[in-house]
Structure 1
């Protein structure tokens, strides 16, 4: 039986805090208007954070907002991940059951990791790197949906005690929540934030966001202390008393309260000498039974359930109720809102009571808690059982009991994707390993995913025992998944040293190979290398061994690495063997990933039909089996291959489907990558506004890198060189040390070259080309296999830059060498796909133009090649070049008519896309050739030449044989001005003298109507 009592505040008057309360109300108003807000309330212990938030939540409730509160758990039940979010979501579900159920529809199995009441969590692969991000995104979406039509205030108390998973989820929510009437309020103790406290970096990160406000709660001044004392004492306090209490409390609201109560209850006794004694005054005045119950609650954790407390206290029910009532009436304990648990009214009192326990008392209480909970797991919520039992046994210093309990807690943390807590618990297990009796260790069995880490040797009973190296394997994966890659790298090193020193099982080579494969991943994550040396070692260890999951995984990693760095026969062979081995051992995820790699390699090798068929087959199989990791990767890799071979419309269809899946599964990173690829394909299709929107969407969610190269290309095509340079910088920063493979280096070099050429820096453009050719173009072999999709655009940009500079004396030195290198590199690239064939024709034509040897036939071939592809911008550029070549050839009237039509088509596309540089080039060429771009407009021949009305008047007089002085007199301008107009006219007409200008005017009959 629990005590259902509402405990009033000692001070009924809310003192001060007008500015802070106003800031909270302002945030509530902004949230109610539809923009999610976050308020972080910081202050020392006892300064009044909880009272401020209580008063605010009362105000919010009156304003029809729904308030859900969750508190972080202090050390004592460590390893309890997401505690405040679970509690807050549980409260939200109680308040809005229908809305919460509707918002969680379809994702109950995933969200159950935070809110177990939703059902049984879905099984997930043990090393699913996207699992945690998926859970975070689904949580954000749940809150946005619940808060779509009702203002929700989510309060997270005591953030200084937050577990790492809670901190990461909070950071994700604050960064990504975009809609919903939601206000997050979190409190934390500033005096607990030592220099290396993990909350400090989070606060610094959140400070930079415009939707976040921090409130620093200070101490009361003398006047506020007097007002608080008046409320507590219900009378005007004596000034001397106010002064004494103010000096003793230093304005801390909680200490003011305790000092006031202490002095009121015993005026004859002096005030306690220390604050610790002050906090124990009320406890010491309790009856003995109540004091014992208070000490029991202090050691049980931040909150203790009534049934658990009853089992541990060992009192009759009536005696327990009487003791609890005494503690509640004395404002030491309070019942939680649900009435089923108890906690100290203030954590400072709990700390004081806990510190007053003797070591033996503390260990005895921890053992009693553990024994009671082990006997009846229903005494606590199901999701808290494993971590709390582990904590109780650990602090009871019973290694035999603690080791199995800690391992169970680690498994539970893994089940909830709480990888940081899982790592901490595994480290605790390592600490306990040698302390636990050998008989206990021998009885431990590989659990859950530890069995999946690497296969056990057949008919070897010892292999069914959990070994210390198994803990290291678990910890290495947990470290990688929670972002502690450096720590994970150290753990794998420790494991390999242990295996090398103490090898006692026939499956140790597999274990070692598995650790080397993990190190390969971690080397890339930590930017310590590309991981190839580690993979080579892993390959050597598995060579000649029977098929196994480890063998298949190593081969799959080798294939993926080779595809990214040196795609070719080795990658193809590794992918084929990985598929074969994975099928033999039933490793479906590895098989599907390897098949996806194999399909991409087939496409790049020119067997496009077979490769795409394989990738589509993987898509169907992965979706049927629910393999989210493979599905996410496929909806990036497949459209990338389709885009590479010029099938952009088909790529868009796959990407649209990928967006739906990524959103539904909560794969934020996958969604960002899919959107980035969508922008690239939309750019190819000439849907540039949609492409820009896709790129901007990726950048808004903080994933600028994946979209930066595509966005830079778009900016450059539209003539915004400044934006292109900004995006190129972002792309380089995003790729970092990964920009060593051809698929990264070539696009970056292409952009650098294009920007340099646009700014007239031909030397820098050439340097960008030569640098990347020196690095990637292997003599006798050419570009690495699979790089043609990026190599052709690079060579085209280089050839175009050389052609545009043709005839400039400064461009001559180095031209021949550059063109020779372009030709040589182009010969090594295959043209299996129509788009690659079109690029080959285009590069050849630009090289000829750079040498002054291009003919209309060359450009006709380019135009014909692109007319079969859905690439309107490329086709418009080719048509512009063909028109220029036709006009340069001169002669036939049909050539002028065709050039006119080509320029009209190119100009229309350029105008629609906003491709300003192309539009300007088309207009300039038409103006110089005196060709009308509008077929229906009645044109003034003089206007078609770009002449202003004043220049037209001047040309009429020039055609009549007038001198500059005569023109000046006729038009009432100075001779100097007349001379300037004549010079401008000659330039616009492209003639060398007044005579040629007059002849042209007569030939074109510019002034025939006036005559």
Structure 2
């Protein structure tokens, strides 16, 4: 296929290759909609580059991707140490390190191409992140292709790309759709009207190519074009193509030969362009082709082909469990599923591919009735654990309950205790506090009399964790002491990290020094290379520092913790960190960013516990801005906190809702929430008590928390020294709280300064309340503030999103937009994703057309309009 309108992309890629050759390694994210021509671009680049070693792998579009499939393909090409490491089934962290060492070795520069990242398993996403953060010191070039129209529905892909976008070595190349002129060139001589081809294809290079090649009468989709093309194959060749489609995007020649494929049939498929020959394998040109072919195969024939492939793979003895499990499930082979799916699930979990692990264990438990109760219990336990990692909490709950039933039936108290702990954690994440505590107590009771065991140490440690969150200091300290003695006796370092985390919670609730304990917990976990304790330590550090208004320190731990969770596949803790990041952004006044981050958390399928913080942030900002309905968010957060019964969460959520009531002038409702928050405030940490005391002061109620325990900004407000409180809030970097303190002062100067700050923040409701109060006091020359029309937006976008939309429509890259708006490329990524969602389009290439259709680009003086950088970049 002739490459048209790709000169700029090829020039950029060639430049990045030269930079890598000079010792400045690069990772290039190559995006475009399905069929835009990303693979063709790479093929041309490969032909253009000399004196490089080119290796690559493709993410397969199987139902359950093979964990690290591209890495294993790359290993076959690089051979040597990496191939040996892969064949010895070493841990994924070691495999990553070995690959990086190969890319850093002397010799020709290495170009690594990983295609179709939108179909990647979690571990492959982690591999790309790992290389992206380290490749700059090598002479290698990492090329990653993905469909940008997959971003809106794939949270894991969006997070991975967002993390990579902020790396210094990262560059972006977009493969746009073709112009009408380019389509006319490609359609010449086909007998088809170029205008019709352009209309049908929308400029998609693959659609254009398939429509022109099929020469059919204006096929309505690429699927029709593909099927029209393969319909010309002979019956035997089409049967082989069906086998290849069931096998996956790429299939080894040896496997096709093992199922009786003849050389004549293979030759026909390659000559016809249905498959492409690549060394010892054949592949479809695009996954779209494979899926189009597979969609035409009747279900009974697919099952027969899966069985045929499974038998061939078993005869060869060379396939891994993930591939065997995939074909066993497709064939409906019960015994093979039970044999291979659990092994594939455990391997996927070890590699950090937890979503794939869930799929394998789900396949296995469908046949759990045909294995022994102990084996079935183990399968359900694995499924519950992996489901909890990826935030599929209803599945984790159902699987955990079934596992507990089976462990009781088997009569295995240690496993019963472990399952109770797991279920207790699940209940906690579902904000079912009473049930969580009951299970935690039962997990200790069921093995208390069986002597010193690791399970008893972990059960005491988990119980201490819950008791600490409820402010039950004496009980938590006692449980910690019991767990600590067992840990010392049995040498359980991973539990020691968790105990340090819990001891820190006890310390901050008691008003004692807690930071060294959390640092110690993180240090232990990192030394062990233990993923979950490390993720928990990062999450607790970030949360505690945020709760104590130490925002700059919290941001540092957030950045490190989020990167770790992304690389390690710790979805649950990663979402927790992102929700806390939203709270940090709220605290420092970066409200647009806070809303974006928290909406992503809410859209991710997060647990009620992780949703709670995100809902508070959005509810508070909507209430402050008078920009939408805050009550569904605030009511959800209050209901979840009440269901946990945890004093600090009740205090936090009730204070947030009290603020929203106060902003609309409902003092009685605000006071009711503050009263509920104060009931158990003595068991919450000092900053929660401070929030309650400040709101009691603001509402002219009796201050119940002890002033001696309050942080100084809140203590100053409680003692009505509001000017000093404002100074302290300014020192912390919390502008809204500082403005509230100035308003509370009641002085004319204080209220005028508060009004100025509220207007700057866009806190419309607070500004309106301030103006109303100033008018009641008879003050004159009150600034009117922004007209309501400047705060409205027909597309529901923020001011920043409108600026980004305008620049995207003008064809600006993310890097150019970041430079123009003086924000990070990662932030631009988030804004672009929001713009695509609000416009309802799947690709940035469609933004200009849709925005123009809605009339969003034809008013240069509209509020929030952005000026486009000129050709010189000014």
Counterpart residue number, 2:475: 570
Name 1:874's counterpart in structure 2.
Answer: 725
Of 408-417 and 246-255, deviating more is: 246-255
Question: Which structure 2 residues correspond to residues 327-366 of structure 1 after superposition, within 5 A?
Answer: 327-329=269-271, 331=272, 334-338=275-279, 340-342=281-283, 346-347=289-290, 351=294, 362=305, 365-366=308-309
Other-structure match for 1:795: 693
Q: Secondary structure at the match of 1:621?
A: helix
Give the match for residue 692 of structure 1: 589
SS across alignment from 2:486: helix
1:483 equivalent in structure 2: 391
Deviations 1:129-158 (A, max 9, x none): xxx989856745745887999895614699
Distance 1:915 1:479, change over 3 A: closer
The Cα of 1:470 is off from its aligned counterpart by 1.0
Shift of 1:485: 1.9
Deviation string, structure 1 residues 555-586 (Cα, Å, up to 9, x no partner)? 22222222223433222222322333344443
Within the alignment, does 1:738 sit opposite 2:679 as a pair?
Answer: no
**Cα gap change, 1:586 to 1:543, in 2 (>3 Å):** same
How many angstroms apart in 2 are the aligned matches of 1:837 and 1:353?
Answer: 70
Does the alignment pair 1:72 with 2:60? yes
Match of residue 903 from structure 1: none
Contact 1:675 1:695 in 2 (8 A): no
2:322 aligned with 1:387: yes
CA deviations 1:659-680 (Å, max 9, x no partner) are: 4465466479868877987998
Report the alpha carbon displacement of residue 311 of structure 1 after superposing the two structures with TM. 4.8
What secondary structure, in the 3-state scheme, does the structure 1 residue paired with 2:451 have? coil
Distance across 2 between alignment mates of 1:371 and 1:755: 64
Question: What is the alpha-carbon distance in structure 2 between the residues aligned to residue 714 and residue 252 of structure 1?
Answer: 46
Does the CA contact (< 8 Å) of 2:460 and 2:479 recur in 1?
Answer: yes
Q: Is the 8 A contact 1:910 1:918 kept in 2?
A: no
1:430 corresponds, among 347, 350, 365, to: 365
Distance 2:394 2:145 in 1: 34
Structure 1 residues 910 and 528, CA gap change in structure 2 (3 angstroms): closer
Measure the CA separation in 2 of the matches of 1:401 and 1:909: 61
For the pair shown, the structure with the greater C-alpha radius of gyration is 1
Partner of 2:145: 154
* 1:303 paired residue number: 250
Name the structure 1 match of 2:382. 474
Task: Please tell me whether the aligned partners of residues 70 and 156 of structure 1 are also in contact (alpha carbons under 8 angstroms).
Answer: no
2:156 to 165, 169, 176: 169
The 3 A distance-change label for structure 1 pair 681 and 499 is closer
SS of the residue corresponding to residue 233 of structure 2 reads helix
2:536 to 633, 637, 643: 633
Q: In 2, Cα distance between the equivalents of 1:371 and 1:553?
A: 41
Contact preservation (8 Å) 2:361, 2:382: yes
Provide the residue aligned with 2:844 in structure 1. none
Match for residue 344 of structure 2?
409
Please tell me whether residue 324 in structure 1 is matched to residue 310 in structure 2: no
Structure 1 residue 918: Cα displacement = 5.6
Provide closer, same or farther for how the CA distance between residues 798 and 664 of structure 1 changes in structure 2, counting only shifts above 3 A: same
Could you list the per-position Cα deviations for residues 634-656 of structure 1 after superposition, in whole angstroms to 9, with x for gaps in the alignment?
35545766787x8x77x955864
Q: Distance in 2 between matches of 1:305 and 1:539?
A: 53
Kindly indicate whether the alpha-carbon contact (under 8 Å) linking 1:480 and 1:488 is maintained by their aligned counterparts in 2. Answer: yes
CA distance in 1, matches of 2:546, 2:750: 36
Q: Does 1 or 2 have the higher relative contact order (CA < 8 Å, sep 6+)?
A: 2
Q: Any residues of structure 2 matched to 1:664-743 within 5 Å, and which?
A: 666=566, 691-692=588-589, 696=593, 699-700=596-597, 702=600, 721-722=624-625, 737-738=640-641, 740-743=645-648
Stretches of structure 2 that go unaligned for 5 or more consecutive residues are 17-26, 83-89, 103-120, 178-182, 198-210, 603-610, 752-777, 781-874
Equivalent residue for 1:512? 416
Alpha-carbon spacing, 1:251–1:56, altered in 2? closer, same or farther (3 Å)? farther
Mapped to 1, the partners of 2:155 and 2:585 lie a distance apart of 34
For 2:414 and 2:580, the matched residues in 1 are separated by 38
**TM-score using structure 2 length:** 0.59
Alignment of 1:597 with 2:502, yes or no, is yes
Q: Where does residue 883 of structure 1 map in the other structure? A: none
Specify whether residues 711 and 535 from structure 1 end up closer, same or farther in structure 2 by C-alpha distance, changes over 3 A only: closer
Calculate the TM-score normalised by the size of structure 1: 0.52
Taking the aligned partners of 2:61 and 2:668, their CA distance within structure 1 comes to 62
- Structure 2 counterpart of 1:371, from 300, 305, 314: 314
Q: 647, 652, 666: which one pairs with 1:747?
A: 652
Task: Rate the CA distance shift 1:751–1:28 in 2: closer, same or farther, 3 A.
Answer: farther
In 1: Cα distance, 2:541 partner to 2:302 partner: 62
Q: Which residue of 2 aligns with 1:886?
A: none
The alignment partner of 2:450 has SS state of: coil
CA displacement at 1:542 relative to structure 2: 2.8
Assess if the C-alpha contact under 8 Å between 1:39 and 1:185 holds in 2: yes
